[in-house]
Amino acid sequence: MPNSHLLLIDALNLIRRIYAVQERPFIHAKNQDTGELSTSTQQQVIINSQAACNTALEKLLYQQQASHALAVFDSQAPCWRYQLFEGYKKGRKKMPDALANSLTNIQDGFMDLGVDSLTSEVDEADDLIATLATKMAIHGKDVTIISTDKGFLSLLSPSVKVYDYFNRRYLDQEYVNSKFNVKSSQLIDLWTLTGDSTNKIPGVPGIGSITAAKLLNQYGSIKALETAQDLNPAISEKLSDNQEQMKLAKTLLTLKNDIPLGFNLKDIRLPHSQH
């Protein structure tokens, strides 16, 4: 029997980016003084976006030749990270109402291609995807996550890949090394030190990405840094002064991988691989 291959789609990451691409020409074309797009233009953008989302999924299914697939959506309610830290994702652009209102139609389009959608009540899509990817990898099955979100890079392993649909490339260990100058297993520690500006998570004041990467390459982890005898006293002081902040950042940055799932793998098997 061929090895199972699960395709996990970070749905809103894909859909919102596709929507932005479809909306761009209309925004450029309209008179800048009028503000919002007209209702008919907005409808056209939505129709185009739905078609483009279906095309994207068809391409991914063909290219990845997966046996199982799932489109994972964020919950409508703010997730647990907002309760821990009110500044989480502060200033993040809200999804346009027209797009939010058409998500069920997009999900129906995905279902027509045999791909079901999963929306969590309280967790972010990232945590659900991490849980699924981890569970599958433990059983030696292959997983490909479709997303441009760097948060998934900490999950990379021989069984777990991350694919950027828009740039047509795998975000692999080599990519992580060239972009962040650390191993994927050190990314959470790196961002704990530097903060994560995308999600508005503060880091340790005075420690930038170059210093953080250098420290992690030398010592291996934050844990090792905290017990190192030969650490630069200025760095040592920064770490001890920001213990609480680092603890919070690490919790916010770490993807959950133990969410109870209410379904089995066979429930998300793609129609073509059922025989």
232 has a pLDDT exceeding 90 = yes
Q: What pLDDT is attached to residue 34? A: 56
Mean pLDDT of 1-10: 85
Q: Give the tens place of pLDDT for each residue, 94-109.
A: 898 999 999 999 999 9
Helices (H), 7-124: 11-29, 39-64, 80-84, 97-101, 103-112
Q: 175: number of CA atoms within 13 Å, CB side?
A: 15
Q: What pLDDT is attached to residue 2? A: 57
110 in the same domain as 64: yes
113 in the same domain as 78: yes
Non-local CB neighbours of 45 within 8 Å, separated by 6+ positions: 19, 22, 23, 26, 37, 98
33 has a pLDDT exceeding 80 = no
**Which has the closest alpha carbon to 176: 122, 141, 216, 207?**
216
CB-based contact 74:40 (threshold 8 Å): no
CB-based contact 88:33 (threshold 8 Å): no
Mean pLDDT of 148-162: 97
**Which has the closest alpha carbon to 253: 134, 127, 132?**
127
Tally the domains of the chain: 2
Q: What pLDDT is attached to residue 1? A: 41
pTM: predicted TM-score of the whole model, two decimal places: 0.94
18 has a pLDDT exceeding 70 = yes
Question: Is the residue at 91 inside a domain?
Answer: yes
State which residues form the domain around 237. 177-253
124 in the same domain as 64: yes
Quote the CA–CA distance of 170 and 159 in Å, as a whole number: 13
Question: Is the residue at 275 inside a domain?
Answer: no
CATH code of the domain covering residue 221: 1.10.150.20
Question: Is the residue at 196 inside a domain?
Answer: yes
Long-range contacts of 155-160 (CB under 8 A, 24+ apart): 155/130, 155/184, 155/255, 156/184, 160/133, 160/136
pLDDT: which is higher, 196 or 75:
196
Q: Give the tens place of pLDDT for each residue, 120-140.
A: 888 899 999 999 999 999 988
pLDDT > 90: percent of the chain: 78
Q: What pLDDT is attached to residue 275? A: 38
222 in the same domain as 125: no
Mean pLDDT of 143-160: 97
Q: What pLDDT is attached to residue 262? A: 84
Q: Give the tens place of pLDDT for each residue, 173-224.
A: 999 999 999 999 999 999 999 999 999 999 999 999 999 999 999 999 999 9
- pLDDT band for position 44 (cuts 50, 70, 90): very high
pLDDT: which is higher, 131 or 33:
131
Q: What pLDDT is attached to residue 78? A: 84
